[in-house]
Amino acid sequence: MITGLLQLTGRNHDLLRRLGAAFVAGGLTVLTLPPFSWLIAAPVAFSVFFLVLRNISASRAFFVGLAFGVGQFGFGISWIAESFYVDAERFGALAIPAVGGLSAALAIFPAMAAGLFATIAQRSPLGGIMAGLLLATCWVTAEWLRGHVLTGFPWNLAGYALVDHAALRQPAAWVGSYGLSFLTVLIGALPGVALAAAPRSRAAILAVFVLALTGLWGIGSLRLGSDVPPPRTDLRIVQGNVPQTEKWAPGSREKTLEKYLRLSTQPGSYDLLLWPETAFPGFLDEDKAARARITAALPEDAVLLTGAPDRVRGDDGPLFFNTVQAYDSSGDILTGYAKHHLVPFGEYVPLKGWLPVERITEGLGDFTPGPGPRTLALPGAPLVAVAICYEIIFPGHVADDLFRPEWIFNATNDAWFGTSIGPEQHLASARMRAVEEGLPVVRAANTGISAVIDTNGDVVARLDTGETGVIDASLPGARAATPYARFGDWTLLVLIVASWALVFVVRLAGRHPRAGKSRTEVS
């Protein structure tokens, strides 16, 4: 691949300029996301991407897309390096190669989108809005594949550029985050489409850009104005702020437990006590004394949901699970959930018999995945779905379709990523799940960001990264199941088909104008 790139750039300086522009445009997409949320960067990035893909071969377009992806992911997931420095002596030297290698691998997906765009454009030349529609379709196809191939990694989807803009993110309730990405790229590319179009068509294309953005805002505003059931459950979220370097250190368990108990017993009443992922650094269900201390601190009829590792006896030895467990004041476990979407190289080593590498996380062995999304019934509390850590980044895969919950609990430990932009991006995913599912999302994070998120994706309470404390809040009410919650990514397909049908109708009308009317090219 690198040899081919050098040969191509040696033959054509124009390609080198396109590669540089694509790399910068890819980097700009990071500025569209939290904590920056510069919405203006989205049309700049995707318009540049559209322009640099015009009139080149599929092979060259692939390398241009690769450059865009390296900029997008090289900056966007740079925070992953922080996790390698937790145990710097063993893994610090791998930080930069790991981020670089993962960024290059993820860049294959924008490269695929670019190559597909150029291939279709060569065989069936398209102009104007049709060309922008083609780019958006190719983009979202590759982005959907990124979210599903080899366990998937749908981090920083293009649609998350809208997460800090209340009305603009609401259409995800109908078309999901992938659908929102389709709309983001389509609308974002229109200024570039206008620049590339014939002068007589530019005003019409820019008018479509304004109308599309206004329409997106209008639809979202209607949802924001609709009624939501009132809250009926009181929560206490505990953020212990235990550094990852201390979490599993010998003798630290008692100190950690005392800290969580002290925060949990501050004055105030609540129905549910929420601790983050692996808040208890040990096998809590096997530690009767620790359970007694915890449940003695619970108010009467209150329930604790806490992250804790678990192990069960298997045929070939113990099986380890990353779980959230529920306890009441009796000290007995009520129910639990085992994480089913595990982090490669963090919680298990894929192809372990072939790859001579080890996990970067502490533990006795690789984790075993749980059976999948599950709704938990707790006494005196609304039905809850649980997503542990990065499970929350997967659209359409956080709630049981057959047994709909009333809220989502996201227990996480972002201590691995320090004060980087990673926790803000992680929170953005949780906010989008709230909009898509029509369910409030509550996050308990070890070092932040803990938050209560309503069904509009608004953060109604939060504790920032590095803070120690509690959030006392009421659980926001749930909406009826959204179209996306009912039909999943089929709504994306409907959106794409409807968009193509609309453009074809407009083109057909332009080819057969009424008598006495002048023909106007708008595509």
Confidence of residue 5 (pLDDT cuts 50, 70, 90): low
Q: pLDDT confidence of 2, banded at 50, 70, 90?
A: low
User: Which pLDDT belongs to residue 522?
Assistant: 36
> Are 131 and 36 in the same domain?
yes
Read off the pLDDT of each residue in 261-281 and give the average, rounded to a whole number.
93
* 3-state DSSP of 240-288: CCCCHHHHCCCCHHHHHHHHHHHHHCCCCCCCEEECCCCCCCCCHHHCH
Average pLDDT across the chain, whole number: 89
* CA 302/CA 296 separation, integer angstroms: 11
Same domain, 243 and 149: no
185-212 mean pLDDT = 95
Active site residue 277: yes
Lookup: tokens for 336: 């639990």
Sorting pLDDT into bands at 50, 70 and 90, what band is 191? very high
Q: Are residue 479 and residue 494 in the same domain, yes or no? A: no
- Whether 95 is in a domain gets the answer yes
Same domain, 391 and 479: yes
Tell me if residue 89 is catalytic: no
Domain of 473 in residue numbering reads as 234-484
Are both 107 and 202 inside the same structural domain?
A: yes
SS3 readout for 195-239: HHCCHHHHHHHHHHHHHHHHHHHHHHHHHHCCCCCCCCCEEEEEE
Say whether both 65 and 180 belong to one domain: yes
Q: What percent of the chain has pLDDT over 70?
A: 92
Which one from 82, 138, 143, 277 is the annotated catalytic residue? 277
Asked whether residue 452 falls in the same domain as residue 430, the answer is: yes
Rounded Cα gap, residues 445 and 39, in angstroms? 27
Instruction: Name the band, by pLDDT with cuts 50, 70 and 90, for residue 513.
Output: low
C-beta neighbour count of 133 within 10 angstroms: 24
Residue 519 lies in a domain: no
Q: How far apart are CA 299 and CA 412, in angstroms?
A: 24
Query: Worst-scoring range by mean pLDDT, 212-226, 303-317, 341-355, 463-477?
Result: 341-355
SS3 175: helix
Domain-located, residue 371: yes
pLDDT band at 36 (very low <50, low <70, confident <90, very high): very high
Contact 175, 484 (CB under 8 A): yes
Q: State the Cα–Cα distance between residues 321 and 308, nearest whole angstrom.
A: 9
**pLDDT (average), residues 34-38:** 96
Average pLDDT over residues 474-483: 96
Note whether 433 and 327 are same-domain residues.
yes
Q: How confident is the model at residue 230 (pLDDT cuts 50, 70, 90)?
A: confident
Q: How many CB atoms lie within 10 A of CB 497?
A: 10
Looking at per-residue confidence, does 266 or 448 come out higher? 266
Residue with tokens 């995707």: 46
Instruction: Tell me, yes or no, whether 522 lies in a domain.
Output: no
CATH code of the domain in which 258 resides: 3.60.110.10
Mean pLDDT of 301-329: 90
Q: Mutual orientation of helices 288-296 and 252-264 as an angle, nearest 10°?
A: 20
Interval 342-370 mean pLDDT: 71
pLDDT at 334 exceeding the cut of 70: yes
Which is nearest to 331 in space by CA: 285, 282, 277? 285
Residue 359 above 70 pLDDT?
A: no
User: Does one domain contain both 272 and 300?
Assistant: yes
Q: Considering the domain boundaries, does residue 518 fall inside one?
A: no
Model confidence at 7, in pLDDT bands (50, 70, 90)?
low
Query: How many structural domains comprise the chain?
Result: 2
Residue 329 has φ and ψ, to the nearest 5°, of -70, -5
pLDDT digits (tens, 9 = 90+) for 266-275: 999 999 999 9
Summarised one tens digit per residue, pLDDT across range 387-444 is 999 899 999 999 998 899 999 999 999 887 888 899 999 999 999 999 999 999 999 9
Can you give the pTM of this predicted structure?
0.91
Per-residue pLDDT band for 521 (boundaries 50, 70, 90) equals very low
pLDDT of 217 above 50: yes
Contact (CB, 8 A) for 224 and 170? yes
Looking at the fold, whether 480 and 495 belong to one and the same domain comes out as no
Output DSSP code: residue 328: -
CB-based contact 441:407 (threshold 8 Å): yes
Average pLDDT (99-108) is 94
| pLDDT for the residue numbered 354 | 59
pLDDT at residue 106, as a whole number: 97
**Would you say 459 and 438 are in contact if contact means Cβ atoms under 8 Å apart?**
no
Residue scoring higher pLDDT (150 or 382): 382
Query: Is 288 annotated as catalytic?
Result: no
Assigned token pair, 162: 């809208």
- Answer whether residue 197 is part of any domain: yes
Residue at 520 is within a domain: no
Options 82, 138, 143, 389, the catalytic residue: 389
210/243 same-domain check: no
Catalytic residue among 82, 138, 143, 339: 339
pLDDT tier, 345 (very low <50, low <70, confident <90, very high otherwise): confident
